Chains A and B, each alone.
Chain A
């Protein structure tokens, strides 16, 4: 057998974060595409692992790669303005948060998930999503207003937000 495969801190960080990356990818892609989501995460991990860049956070780059790969997947399938893929099961879970997120526009879903699920701050989220911070925040606000709209008795402040149906 040949010599032991070298394991750098860069690779370790990616493997340690693999579960979080897959979780984010699954939420981003939607409920019926677990295999596709896992493949996205896997692809991102391998690509970032193969291209160590000094001074850059490999996990942050892997999140950005998942976002980029998913945008490309959606664009190539002609679903840029559509929601995530929805299963028949989702009809039975109509009120669930997961289902509400899965039918959000992709740009809002990305911002909401990178902050509320992956736990990144606004500046890191802007780097990952390749957007200005102001765009990330406005998309996050729209996403939360959309979820608020599904809760009885909660309405946004007048004039600040437009709830898109």
Chain B
């Protein structure tokens, strides 16, 4: 089952949210990465049939998703907005989904879905009393109850702790291996470490990069960095650093040094060695361009 996005744009008045995106999603897990405001949610809403594209087409197995409720037989959606009927228990909530899907045995489907997300133990409690991770898993169970071929998740890791995140990623990977087409969005690259699949990177509404996650991961760890350094002798440290091949430039300022390193890994390994050799004590080392935008725009250039 493939999800086909062809030349899709979406604008609101003068603002272009999604700009001419074309992608094909195949079975397996795909991460849709990009900083906030990149258009990920807009794209997901269009994929899920909750927003008409201004231009282009979106189709699951050749069927358009807009104004076509039949498509939800094959599609599951976990939206970003954490809207649940808080007065229901997890079991009731998932059961409602199963019944609305018109499944032949809603109770069995509900039990299976709750089991898949490991919520069986807590199924009788009101959703309002759940932790964020439990609510998220309940929502995933509701989206999975009809065993859809395609599952879309908008920021599923938002607000989860690392353990819950690992759990969820594990679940998504399992579903992907079972032949489902899974797409999730995220604006935090570190969230998707255990991802075994491909990524699509969106920046400012455009599809900026796509490919194997490991390649992108490597590019990330080896990306150029700017560090702010303070030491007991900035001037001497600057001279020593300039000998390093991993250092592209050093600025001497009143607050210390601004070091532009070509490579994150080798610079951070080299600095302590140099300081030790020169007898300089490093008081402060701060990476100064950790903004997501800079990381993503680097990925786009690479």
A associates with B = no
Q: Which residues of B contact A (CB under 8 A)?
A: none
Q: Which residues of A contact B (CB under 8 A)?
A: none
